[in-house]
Structure 1
């Protein structure tokens, strides 16, 4: 019920926290990517057991958002700049801007024309 508020906050704060910890302690520039892969694994477990296991909802219609490209971009900005401030400004902007193009390969197959009750629509509608 709280997916509108909780999910965006979790998807940016958890990778940022793990990235800051790994960069500060070990100078490893892949903290956001590792965190996002863990979140994605948990989301797939949730999708499988809750959508497919309980209700047999088609699994290809409940895919989690693709956030790995944004995490790679966030880690790359930190690696190239080495600055938390620059990463917070440019990396977070890149995170938001790469979200739709990163999800396009998953959404694209649903943008095919379909006729429904005499109206031309797409499967995504």
Structure 2
């Protein structure tokens, strides 16, 4: 499975025509303790770069943007009961939502893991 990153600190992992989206370890570290996550409803159409979810921490609330366009197929229900999963496993069990991939060419502008690490190192 291929994983990509945005400059807004979202990650997206492809499995065929389905993508799983979350925020990076760097992002959760900047936010601090996550206390609430507002996730998109299944069936919602997302546009690349548009608002997809909201994450609230003890420090601030922050928007999560759609890395690509597509339709939400599933939200991570586990985050409703335990939003701290985003802190403990942001790039695994703390995923936000799954979506269809409307246009694979939109992945071209995203970073691979090495480029993202270099990007974060420069912040």
TM-score normalised by length of structure 1: 0.27
Which protein is richer in strand relative to its size?
2
Q: Which has the larger radius of gyration?
A: 1
Q: Which has the higher contact order (CA 8 A, sep 6+)?
A: 2
Which protein is richer in helix relative to its size?
1
TM-score normalised by length of structure 2: 0.27
